[in-house]
Structure 1
């Protein structure tokens, strides 16, 4: 092996070692800076003090450069972990990721903050951001509603853990929306079974809405569909009860008008059976 080739191989190995050190630990910065052959600015490594990086991040936010701002805040977290600057940077990193639509990253960063600083002044805000990030992922009711359940959990934590925070009102609104989505998913599946005359499976879904999601905007249709399904099965008394409960709670509803007409076609009218599960569930409807 020639002398030049040997030197070249050693040089490549040295550069690779310095690069790995930069990724793994801040101590590599010193070695890298002392090497005149490596320009650390081209490696994407932030070396400014945390206060400078934080102010740069704020400036980027003001300019609408959320991605650049997020990089600055993340650099603080890497270089100065568990410091006050890192704590503040985690808050801003969660926010910028949320604003960029990087919801999974925002959730991950926010949850890490909450684990490290559960009782800080910014905990309520970060918990709220986590809830918002989940809510942004809620899909149409024809799709999986896992994000709706996560939204409820995250926003419920805002309401329970930070009852005096300014985020409670919107957190409650997001919970109601997410519950409407979960109820809507149950209705979508129930209608699918009803169309195929799989009546027992349909009733199970409609019943879930009435019992578990009584304060959502899906309950009127659920009661109407129960009337329709029980009537189709020949279980007239339950159909009458579902219609009676619907009429008492939503007398002006088109769903009630349709249910009343359906019963009349069979020569009967709404009449509540107090022993029915539907009647018992009606107590929840009255308090919704």
Structure 2
């Protein structure tokens, strides 16, 4: 959005200032020059200009080494310019067009990073939005992208960071499910609450939300008058050094 407004303003200024059909000063720039300009722009933090130069390079010189590199670099530029949807689209395009490229692992990694960014939102902290209340689908897609990276390119330099990000996403998804389970329990929808809590325990092993999910499940089984299942959950809690009150 920020870059779109900037480009619109630039277009209006150029229209107002134009006095005839003269060529723009960058119209005859070579692919090498456009790429060098883009690199210089993003190195000084001007991601709007960097994206513009890379887009221009791809449009004018769609074939060759510079175009291929531009397709890869623009993923990062979009990401730095807080345009995660554009970064995801650029990463998917690069993967589709260059499936055997030696740096396609980077495209998979950046696709996951951008989708993770979509899932948590840069306005969350500013507006004090509970991240567990957000739509978790972008996070699930990010998790899948990182998993694909790890499975297909186990020797990639990005694997370690991808694993860390997957753990963070797992915790966030589990937290989201726990919020829903608590919502059902607060409204005495005991069966729905039990199903959600069971899902957390089975699917998100190791996540911090597992402990409160066990505690909730123990309470729900009590409400449902299922003493055998309630005892089973208590034993799990005790085996892990917790009580229902502690979890």
Contact 1:134–1:148 (Cα < 8 Å) also in 2: yes
Equivalent residues in 2 for 1:38-57, closer than 5 Å: 38-41=21-24, 46-57=27-38
- Paired position in structure 1 for 2:224: 233
What SS does structure 2 have at the residue aligned with 1:215? coil
- Equivalent residue for 1:185? 176
Match of 1:117 in 2: 98
8 Å CA contact 2:109–2:162 kept in 1: the answer is: yes
Match of 1:68 among 45, 49, 52: 49
Residue-by-residue CA offset, 1:118-144 (whole Å, 9 max, x unaligned): 111221111111111011122311121
Q: CA deviation at 1:257?
A: 5.2
Paired with 2:199 and 2:27, the residues of 1 have a C-alpha distance of 54
Q: 1:92 aligns with which of 58, 63, 73?
A: 73
Is this contact kept in 1: 2:150–2:162, CA < 8 A? yes
Is it true that 1:209 corresponds to 2:197 in the alignment? no
Aligned to 2:160: 169
Note if contact 1:155-1:171 (Cα within 8 Å) is conserved in structure 2.
yes
* TM-fit CA distance, 1:149: 0.5
Deviations 1:245-271 (A, max 9, x none): 1221x31x4xx25179xxxxxxxxxxx
The two structures, once aligned, show a CA RMSD in angstroms of 1.8
Relative to the length of structure 2, the TM-score reads 0.84
C-alpha separation between the residues in 2 aligned to 1:72 and 1:47?
13
Match of 2:11 in 1: none
Post-superposition shift, 1:37?
4.0
- Structure 1 segments of 4+ aligned residues over 3 angstroms from their partners: none
* SS of residue matched to 2:157: coil
The runs of 5 or more residues in structure 2 that have no matched partner are 1-18, 121-130
Paired with 1:39 and 1:209, the residues of 2 have a C-alpha distance of 64
For residues 14-56 of structure 1, give each alpha carbon's deviation from its aligned partner in whole angstroms, at most 9, with x where no partner exists.
xxxxxxxxxxxxxxxxxxxxxx9412328xx743110010001
Q: TM-score, normalised by structure 1?
A: 0.72
* Number of residues of Structure 1 aligned to a counterpart in Structure 2: 219
Verify the 8 A CA contact 1:46 1:72 in the aligned structure 2. Answer: no
Q: Which residue of 1 aligns with 2:12?
A: none
Contact 1:180–1:216 (Cα < 8 Å) also in 2: yes
Alignment partner, residue 60 of structure 2? 79
List per-residue Cα deviations over 1:195-251 (Å, max 9, x = no partner).
Answer: 111100100100111111123221111111110110122212211111211221x31
The DSSP-based 3-state class of the residue aligned with 2:135 is coil
C-alpha contact 1:226 1:242 (8 A) present in aligned 2: yes
CA contact (8 A) 1:227 1:259 kept: no
Task: Give 3-state SS (helix, strand or coil) of 2:118's partner.
Answer: coil
Query: Are 2:85 and 2:118, in contact at CA under 8 Å, matched by a contact in 1?
Result: no
